[in-house]
Structure 1
């Protein structure tokens, strides 16, 4: 049977990760071109979104780690009972990991890009490019956080259903080496 406490803790972690990712999207660093005496340079505002993105990354990672430890990452431990729940758990396991990798990539990539501030100057006549995160990268991470949260909880419930009950097969399945 699925642990209700684990499901609640994972839901809270995923909710916090989602909220931090949305907040990071709202607080992305912006840049303005400023003019010096003979050169142009970029001026960035506060860098809050990087911390929010990394926080979201950590909470999503913790959530995934809890689910995988509780289910023994599907590959360790005793074999699951043959059923529809086992098939569903396997499919959800793969899908959950794909969504997790995409969410973590979006959050980490956006946080690194947001933290990068160009530190060069150019002459007044030349145009300058101020690096900043594209709009929607943290939001894509937030969307995949939600998807990962939903899939990981359904995976854990399916895994628990397939793990409950009798042994995998009650009859002898091996080749016996008896007298011929």
Structure 2
């Protein structure tokens, strides 16, 4: 099986778009401020934007599609021929899955935590009243793992295709014949008249 450029292009594009969206989600995390209520003496949390949740979930989906494409093409290493002794594709398969699951966990947890908004109210006299926000770096970790997942998936696809020899089919019709060669006979079909 040869390495398909179109598969590599699709996987690379999906990973890079997911990376850009994860970086955008990190940059646009929602922040909350304690604001006084205009009708009474209480305060509440006002959040500015929630766009990073959508960015994170979109990156999550694109990364999932990309990993499904790679594992669909390589048949998830489960039904491959002649790979039971190949160490490199097996290692890269496991490594790409571990990094993929880490990136998906960061993106999903970051999106869920970013969507959480504090609903309670406090009195003016409370000094340590704060709004719940997402920690800095969760989407950045997801973005970094997305790039590592891209490299691991491409290397896994490449190593899988190099190791997938097809067993005995590779050596079919090669070698010397065991019969003697007969001299070619002249054919009078194409002679000039």
TMscore range, shorter length: 0.7 to 0.9
| In 2: Cα distance, 1:76 partner to 1:110 partner | 35
| In 1: Cα distance, 2:52 partner to 2:164 partner | 41
- Check whether the contact 2:18–2:62 (CA below 8 A) recurs between aligned residues: yes
1:41 match: secondary structure: strand
Larger Rg: 2
Unaligned runs of 5+ in 2: 172-193
Unaligned runs of 5+ in 1: 171-180
1:80 aligns with 83
2:92 aligns with 92
| In 2: Cα distance, 1:5 partner to 1:16 partner | 16
**Cα RMSD between the aligned structures?**
1.8
Distance 1:95-1:168 versus aligned 2 partners, 3 A rule: farther
Aligned length: 167
| In 2: Cα distance, 1:32 partner to 1:80 partner | 56
- Check whether the contact 2:81–2:166 (CA below 8 A) recurs between aligned residues: no
Query: Mapping of 1:24-39 within 5 angstroms?
Result: 24-36=25-37, 37-39=40-42
1:124 aligns with 124
TM-score scaled by structure 2?
Answer: 0.82
| In 1: Cα distance, 2:122 partner to 2:139 partner | 30
Structure 1 residue 81 displacement after superposition: 7.0
Kindly report structure 1 stretches of 4+ aligned residues shifted beyond 6 Å.
none
2:47 aligns with 44
Q: Deviations over 1:7-43 (max 9, x none)?
A: 1100000010000000000100011100122111100
| In 1: Cα distance, 2:31 partner to 2:150 partner | 30
Structure 1 residue 75 displacement after superposition: 1.0
